[in-house]
Chain A
Amino acid sequence: MNRPIHARPRCAAATLTAAVLATTLATTPLVAQDLVIQAARIVVAADTVLTDGRLLVRQGKVAWVGDDIPADARARARVVDYGDATIVPGFVLAQSTLTQDADLAESALAFTPDLRAAEGFDPWRKETRELPRCGVTAVGLSASPRNVAGGIGALVKPGREVATIPVPELHLTLSLTQAARNEERPPTSMMGAIDLLRTTFTIAKAGTHAGPDAAVLRQVLSGSRAVFVHADAYTEICGALDLARDFGFTVTLVGARDAEKLLPRLVEQKVNVVLDSLLPESRLEQLTLPTRLAEAGLPFCFGGRPELLRLSAALAVRNGLDRRTALQALTRMPATLLGQQASIGSLRQDHAADFLVFRGDPLDLDAKHLATWIDGVRVYGEEPPAKKPAAEPAATVAGDN
């Protein structure tokens, strides 16, 4: 039987509304609930510490800090109260191949500056899932140091199951270490490696070569692309410094085992340093190098193996480095060296909600690591029981701690 004529427009309108609603819901992402993270001590940055502080996390970022949090936002947010814990920014590992050396080094050719590490990276590897347990929330994925010019790095962030690559192109990786000198293909010597770099930079500077490799070198010369150079021994460091001086770019040394022998020159050329891992059995010169670099005013950060980051910082503190500089060398400084200080390395507003929760000071090994959060998602550890949001007194901002 036919429907009455007057009912037909109402049915059509309802159907249309339902269709529009369904489409809207399908295309609009679900809005995660805001989080208020509370703890006895929140280290927003090395020089900004909140006592009995809180952060409001919205869509993976720090939306507000401390008493800037609007009351209505606080009221709607889910509270995660870690009680007497200390919250610090997540550790940033400035340089690593994340055990994928083989896929991040083109062994047939020594000079591949245009290759991209992000394209050779497997985000599902087990080693990447272990990073949050070490407190690492961001990594400067680099090409392997087994090539003189390995390629372009990327920023990788671990997740619960799979890592992400928020920034696919970062610095250029060069290497003058023994690993880059290969008997089976040139260069086979230190002289050959330096000559190769000089030649290619000269060509790039001249602008006569239009290939992608020269384009990358021109970016370095123009200052639009940072360059990390693996150099450990004195001659290797000198070679890197000579190259940087002669072609007018700033260099970040990776390893720099003999940096102490060249401190004045490193200061003069404003060199950054990414240190290798420290171990208890490391030579005393290595254990005290962070202190010497800090005293010289050189920007540096801890690098090497992700599992050894915290131990490296603790050993540096044990051998004279002050705690504030040590924490900066784990967080803000590596972010700066990667050019990502606007998004990671601290818990300031609009930074990624990447943070670690400790019972105690993270630079003391007796502090228990309770949790790791990346982009506002807990990827390691436990969460305390949820509490209802309540009006609390304003947080106290402390100075240097």
Chain B
Amino acid sequence: MNARAWLGLLRFELPERDVRMATATAAAFNLLGMPIDLLLFRNEPNASPWPEIGSMAVGAVILSALALGRFLGRPSAVRTLFFVNGLAVALALSLIVPYFAAFPRPWLPFQGFKLGALVAGMLAPGFAAGLLTIVVTVGLPMAQIPALPAVLRSQVSPVEPWALFAFGLAAAFILVHRLRVRALEIRAREALAESEARRRLAAAYLELRDLMNTPLQSIELATVLLQTPQDRKPGDEAAILEALRRSSERLAAISRELKKFEHVLDRAGTRGGLDGQSAST
């Protein structure tokens, strides 16, 4: 990807509906996934449930707000909520980590963070929100390793924190790929829609031209006949003038019909490109 493509990706915005759906899904994942941790530590008296409950509360509030239609028309705010949800999950997981010291079985460290990073890559509603969430989700545990209790630090695999970093990198690649594919899909769909709109507009113009051509032909013939009085019979002038008048009325009627579409035009004043000069040459 060149610099321009990267810039495009940074600026790319998913449709608002997709942004809301992605954030709601992440919040639901938070709300329904955290109880698993509660179950893990249900028999551990020193394990406070408040980190999980706090994270679930954040997920519940975000999910409810989106379900109730809050933040409609504000996709930036919704993308921020995605990050807030991810931050809540990462913070909760960080607070839970020391509880594993009391576990009788060996600890598989940081699984939740790795899963969270991948989920962020798969769901993020925007590049910035996604990348920040991934950074926080893998960055927090990476920073936490030196401060772990000795019993836990001894269980941390030598591949850490690089495994965390690798998951973060993978999540970032997933994010970039997903958004790029989505951007291309949207661009292709917009091009198709524009092409169809142009085709329909052209068909409408051609229908219009068809309606106009017969009165124009009448006007052409009537004009020539009026210019050559010596070539016509007495009394024909009235009939010619009447035909001219009706043809003019037909064109006026078409013009009146077209007035109905004035409101559709861009009020910025852009026109279709025809002007009197070029049309008459």
Q: Do A and B come from one complex?
A: no
